[in-house]
Amino acid sequence: MRNSFRTSFAFFAAAFVLLSSVFAQPQASTADMELRARRNAIEAELQSIAVVERKVMVTMRDGKRMQADIYRPKESNAKYPTIFSRTPYNFNWWDVRLGAPRDMTTVLDAIKRGYAYVIMNERGHFFSEGNYDILGPPLTDGEDAIKYITTKPWSNGKLGTIGCSSTAEWQMAVAAQDVPGYTAMIAQGFGAGVGRVGPYYEQGNWYRGGAVQMLFIAWLSGEQNQVRPTFPANTSQEDLIRASKSFDLAQQSPRVDWSKALRHLPVKDIIKAVDGPHGIFADEMPVATGGAMIKRTPNDPAWYKGGLFHDNMKINIPGFWFMSWYDVSVGPNLALYNHVRKTARPDIADQQYAVIAPTLHCSYTRATENTVVGERSVGDARLNYSELTYGWFDYFLKGHSEGNDIKAWPKVRYFTMGSNKWQAADQWPPAGAEPMTFYLASGGKANSLKGDGALTSASPPIDAPDRFTYDPMDPVPSYGGNVCCTGNAVQGGAFDQTKMEERSDILVYTTDVLKEGFELSGPIDVTLFVSSSAKDTDFTVKLIDVDENGKAWNLDETIQRMRYRDGYDKPLVWMEPNKVYKFKFQPMTTSNYFAPGHRLRIEISSSNFPRFDRNMNTGGNNWDEVKGIIANNAVHHSKQYPSSVTISVVRKK
């Protein structure tokens, strides 16, 4: 009996422990409890002053519905301007992992300032219907959304857009459609919306110099999923709101080590190799562009069928453009800014303003009293972005100019690294910027930091080419740079490059120690005379500030795939062994003060991986190749072959 009692007791004790573990709620940390309390307080305040409409399904002209959350002040008889944000990212009002509302501070601030605030998911994401394509095309979705908002009884008919990265990049092409009610825009970190402009055929940061920027491979792995949970079309708004407290429809993918995954060959199978979803990266899809992005070329007709802005378009609304020196594409972004100022109506051209910060992608508000970008301190890079944002919208959407005359604003506010200060200009590059040219020189041994490469005021009389080997299986690793969105594969920003400069496949050219300092603000043009044993290969360049302690801080970087050296809209051109070819990189751009005691340096190589994809040197597609060949490359420099770097120096009066 005693043994039986003990057995029964043990059984029930075990059952109790098991059931307790099943039904017990996880213990919230103190930090989580405090965060929930703050979030609930913000939500309560928002509900007290705003009309809140969530999970509103807005019908587009093709019958597909996009999900929006709409907030507006409670005063029923007033009409309000709208701040509109359209995004591929998760903005579900309920944080399903925390068990509380998400942070509604931005919405609450807009309501208190007398604005309606609308946020909408792009087609094919979360609660929005349809098939996803990058930048949320068709363009008519943007038009239909703006018309829907600006014709509401509570709207004053004026709408402004705001957002960074993918929440900004759709704005330009829609703004070019002359949509009634679209009154002003704030585009931040908007490079992936810039297709073809000036010398740049980047097609939304997909290319640089014809090479693929690999950031989108990692990014699309988490964005292109079209096998996804959805709700029935007849689900009521009430049920959607209720369901959204349990299901935010956010993808929860397994972690990927992109530093290894991006090395997979062929490139077209990188997402497949990490068991990522099918979609527009490598597969044909039922969207206007057709998908299969990796199989395109820089001037493929598909790039002109989606949501990109191209320089055959005109924007005729006021624009406030935010850029940063260590973002992916500040050069094309500034080219777009100048394009709008040149092509818009004169009154609108005069209403284009720019801010260029020294930060990483969309990191403007993270600047501190001691802003560190990568490993380099650039000092106090803060600006009052909230004041700028609402000063802009108050002026254009409300007509408030008293104490807020944007005509007095500088057209361009830019941060100069090195001197670590904000400056103002009426144009870009700043007035007074003059070209200064340095010529590459060496005794034929510019390989590595220990080589004899130099930047001089005149070309050497006799060619002593610098030769190096480029092996696609052993590319130069990316270290810092102007990049985003590559997971753990590349960390953006400025890093000391001297360790990298130990490699013999990096050519290093440096000026003498500067006796006088100068400000470089504007484009940097690099012209090279090169030869190769391969039919096709790449050349890369980095611009560097070497400080008095020998630390080599990278400022900007670019690449050129040689098959496109005659132009992206021209027939492909191949190289013949050991024949010398002249080409010019697409311009780099930055603002940096080179102090006395510093030196200016450039690095030349043939790879910067995985910042850019590897050229397999075969003349093939690259994206479907698994084997490459070694290229024996050379940079020539002489009076006959005057390889050079031309910078923009601002002379202060």
pLDDT per position as a tens digit, 587-641? 999 999 999 999 999 999 999 999 999 999 999 999 999 999 999 999 999 999 9
| Residue 501: DSSP 8-state | G
**pLDDT tens per residue, range 571-600:** 999 999 989 999 999 999 999 999 999 999
**Using an 8 Å Cβ cutoff, are 631 and 534 in contact?**
yes
**Could you give the dihedral angle defined by the CA atoms of residues 68, 71, 72 and 75, in that order, rounded to the nearest 10 degrees?**
120
In our burial notation (b when 16+ CB lie closer than 10 A, e otherwise), range 359-386 reads: bbbbbbeebeeebebbebebbebebebe
pLDDT score recorded for residue 16: 40
pLDDT score recorded for residue 1: 41
Q: How far is CA 353 from CA 171, 186, 426, in A?
A: 16, 10, 9
pLDDT score recorded for residue 10: 41
d(CA 84, CA 308): 19
CA angle 288, 290, 295 (to 5 degrees): 145
Residue 272, pLDDT above cutoff 80 = yes
Residues 6 or more apart whose CB falls under 8 angstroms from that of 208 comprise 202, 329, 558, 559, 586, 612
d(CA 596, CA 593): 10
**pLDDT tens per residue, range 441-465:** 999 999 999 999 999 999 999 999 9
Q: Which CATH number fits domain 433-650: 3.10.105.10, 2.60.120.260, 3.40.50.1370, 1.10.3720.10?
A: 2.60.120.260
Among 274, 428, 243, 270, residue whose Cα is nearest residue 354: 428
**pLDDT tens per residue, range 140-162:** 999 999 999 999 999 999 999 99
By DSSP bridging, strand 116-121 and strand 518-532 are unpaired
Cross-strand pairs, 530: 581, 635
| Residue 395: DSSP 8-state | I
Among 329, 389, 319, residue whose Cα is nearest residue 350: 319
Kindly indicate the confidence band of residue 163, based on its pLDDT and cuts at 50, 70 and 90. very high
Residue 4, pLDDT above cutoff 70 = no
Neighbours of 599 (CB within 10 A): 18
**pLDDT tens per residue, range 310-320:** 999 999 999 99
pLDDT score recorded for residue 26: 57
**pLDDT tens per residue, range 361-391:** 999 999 999 999 999 999 999 999 999 999 9
**Is the sign of the CA dihedral 27, 29, 32, 37 positive or negative?**
positive
Q: How far is CA 218 from CA 121, 222, 275, 486, in A?
A: 21, 7, 12, 6
pLDDT score recorded for residue 19: 41
List the chain domain ranges: 39-425, 433-650
Let me know if 531 is exposed, middle or buried by CB neighbors in 10 A (0-12, 13-18, 19+): buried
User: What ranges in 471-626 are assigned the alpha helix state H?
Assistant: none
d(CA 105, CA 89): 17
Q: Which stretches does DSSP call E strand in 374-494?
A: 376-377, 412-416, 421-425, 433-441, 454-456, 466-470
Q: Which CATH number fits domain 39-425: 3.40.50.460, 3.40.225.10, 3.40.50.1820, 3.90.1170.30?
A: 3.40.50.1820
Residues 537-556 have a mean pLDDT of 98
**Using an 8 Å Cβ cutoff, are 193 and 173 in contact?**
yes
pLDDT score recorded for residue 14: 44
pLDDT score recorded for residue 404: 85
Cross-strand pairs, 510: 454, 601
Please provide the average confidence, as pLDDT, over all residues in the chain: 95
Neighbours of 189 (CB within 10 A): 30
Residues 556-560 have a mean pLDDT of 98
pTM of the model: 0.94
Q: Residue 622: how many CA atoms within 13 Å on its side-chain side?
A: 23
The alpha carbon of 438 is separated from its chain's Cα centroid by a whole number of angstroms, namely 31
Q: What's the token pair of residue 318?
A: 């006021």
Q: In the β-sheet with 155-164, what is the strand arrangement from edge to edge?
A: 50-59, 65-73, 116-121, 80-87, 155-164, 182-188, 319-326, 352-360, 412-416, 421-425
Amino acid at site 14? A
Residues 6 or more apart whose CB falls under 8 angstroms from that of 113 comprise 390, 394
Residues 275-297 have a mean pLDDT of 96
Q: What's the token pair of residue 234?
A: 């007849």
> Considering the chain, what percentage of its residues have pLDDT values greater than 70?
96
Residues 188-215 have a mean pLDDT of 97
| Residue 246: DSSP 8-state | T
Q: Which residue has the tokens 């097609």?
A: 203
